[in-house]
Amino acid sequence: MKPIDLRSDTVSQPTPAMRAAMAAAVVGDDCYGDDPSVQQLEARVAELLGKQAGLFLPSGTMANQLAIATHTRPGRAIACVREAHIQVHEDASPARLSGVQAMGLGDRYGFGAEALEDLIREESCGWPRVELVCVENTLGLAGGRVWSQAELAEVRACAQHYERPIHLDGARLWNAHIASGEPLSKLAAIGDSVSVCLSKGLGCPAGTVLCGESTFIARARETRHAFGGALRQSGVLAAAGLHALEHHIERLAHDHRHAHQLWAALGETPHWSARAPETNMVIFELPERRDAERLCRPLREAGVLCYPNKYSEIRYVLHLGIDDAAVEQVITRTRAVLDALG
Ligand SMILES: *Cc1c(COP(=O)(O)O)cnc(C)c1O
């Protein structure tokens, strides 16, 4: 029995066509600014997002941390959604690498302008100044929920009023684009800087692009080298990204449809319940704060690879490695495990 891997959308394999594009890439030394494929990718993503410039980076974590380092100074704070990737999944890097404190607002479904204003109004002696506001779209911990554009517009107006820049962690902005039908440039307009991952739904082996104003990106480029993120013939990776921009954005609709199918079949059981997914993830919530890992283990043994989302939640993530037949298999295997539990 071949396991079906729903642990993350990072587990997908590069397709044969993507590998062919990588093999054919024209490359140079990007550290010297010589790699035409990297330059093409940076320009293309910046154009899609409506920003002046882009910077190719090995990972989304580096992009977010580089944005924080470039926007802030040590001893200050950043505001972000409570349990944002930046706050809880990047190994305390705002504190480690930039010397800033991450202050969580709202809940995992977002925060409003009022919460941000309340935080800013508290600034005084000993209370660090919020140098940067971070938002996330889609919201990862919330199962890939699309943050409402109306709420984000209010957050942006508030941040502008107090002259605080915004960084948008758009690791899965592609999914927000497909689910909402809004143009990428409109979704990206919320951020002074925006990071988008190529290694999740788009199916590349690695890579994130950070975009923003040219002066911001020039400063981030210097810090990229300091963070160890300046690569050499990274055009082989950029070529995968260019291929994915052509071929793997529209197909995200299939992942969203698959997530919806899984939710329709498995969303309500005696063992868990789930909200309707908006994008490519289904989050099953276990009752009574039960340990989700105890259910993930038999699921993995039955060939459905999955992990907890939080202590009492299980996450199924759809991606380009999962076809219609695999979705059927996931339903059959999951039901068998749940039935055996009684
Ligand atoms: C995956 C992810 C990141 C970081 O990406 P890596 O490439 O794994 O470092 C950042 N933010 C969000 C919301 C993510 O889901």
Rounded mean pLDDT of 33-61? 98
Phi, psi angles (nearest 5°) of residue 291: -75, 110
Task: Encode pLDDT of 185-231 as tens digits.
Answer: 999 999 999 999 999 999 999 999 999 999 999 999 999 999 999 99
Atom 8 of ligand 1: nearest residue by CA position? 60
What secondary structure does DSSP assign to 19-69, as a single string? HHHHHT-----GGGT--HHHHHHHHHHHHHHT-SEEEEES-HHHHHHHHHH
Give 338 Cα–ligand 1 centroid separation in angstroms: 31
Q: What is the pLDDT of residue 54?
A: 98
Between β-strands 208-212 and 268-269, what pairing exists: parallel, antiparallel or unpaired? unpaired
Task: Encode pLDDT of 66-119 as tens digits.
Answer: 999 999 999 999 999 999 999 999 999 999 999 999 999 999 999 999 999 999
Q: What is the pLDDT of residue 131?
A: 98
8: Cβ below 6 Å to ligand 1? no
What does the alpha-carbon distance between residue 336 and residue 339 come to, in Å, rounded to a whole number?
5
pLDDT above 90 as % of the chain: 99
Rounded mean pLDDT of 242-257? 98
Q: What is the pLDDT of residue 97?
A: 97
pLDDT, mean over the chain:
97
3-state secondary structure of 75: coil
Please enumerate, as own/partner, the contacts of 212-218 that have beta carbons within 8 Å and a separation of 24 or more: 212/51, 212/52, 212/53, 212/67, 213/51, 213/52, 213/53, 214/52, 214/53, 216/53, 216/70, 216/71, 216/192, 217/52, 217/53, 217/54, 217/55, 218/53
Give 307 Cα–ligand 1 centroid separation in angstroms: 16
Task: Encode pLDDT of 304-314 as tens digits.
Answer: 999 999 999 99
Residue 1 has pLDDT above 90, yes or no: no
Task: Encode pLDDT of 138-196 as tens digits.
Answer: 999 999 999 999 999 999 999 999 999 999 999 999 999 999 999 999 999 999 999 99
171: Cβ below 6 Å to ligand 1? yes
What does the alpha-carbon distance between residue 157 and residue 184 come to, in Å, rounded to a whole number?
20
Give the number of other CB atoms < 10 A from CB of residue 214: 11
60: Cβ below 6 Å to ligand 1? yes
Q: What is the pLDDT of residue 125?
A: 81
Spatial neighbors of 75 by CB under 8 A, at least 6 apart, are 99, 100, 128
Give 90 Cα–ligand 1 centroid separation in angstroms: 9
What does the alpha-carbon distance between residue 162 and residue 160 come to, in Å, rounded to a whole number?
5
Residue 9 has pLDDT above 90, yes or no: yes
277: Cβ below 6 Å to ligand 1? no
Give 336 Cα–ligand 1 centroid separation in angstroms: 32
